[in-house]
């Protein structure tokens, strides 16, 4: 059953036009951000939008630093 559901999703995704595929990326990000927002609000115990936004940005920065670790090397200047 799981294989059949997966196969159906793949067929649907392959048949979607490019604009829909592009918009799906934004929709997925928006949905994930809503879950992130709710989780951070729960972690902080607040509904203050500014606090939540600052914390989300802080967490994204930590993730970025971890993902980029070792990718960039300082350039020696003479």
Output the CA–CA distances (angstroms, integers) from residue 78 to 1, 31, 72, 75, in the order listed: 64, 48, 19, 10
List pLDDT tens digits, range 8-56.
Answer: 988 988 898 999 888 999 999 999 999 999 999 999 999 999 999 999 9
List pLDDT tens digits, range 52-61.
Answer: 999 999 999 9
DSSP string, the chain: -HHHHHHHHHHHHHHS-HHHHHHHHHHHHHHHHHHHHHHHHHHHT---HHHHHHHHHHHHHHHHHHHHTTT--PPP--
- 43 contact partners, CB below 8 Å, separation of at least 6: 55
């Amino acid at each position: 059953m799981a294989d059949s559901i997966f196969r159906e999703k793949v067929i649907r995704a392959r048949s979607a036009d490019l604009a829909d595929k592009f918009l799906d990326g934004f929709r997925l990000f928006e949905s994930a951000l809503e879950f992130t927002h709710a989780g951070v609000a729960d972690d902080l115990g607040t509904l203050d939008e500014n606090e939540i936004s600052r914390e989300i940005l802080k967490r994204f920065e930590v993730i970025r630093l971890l993902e980029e670790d070792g990718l960039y090397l300082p350039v020696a200047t003479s």
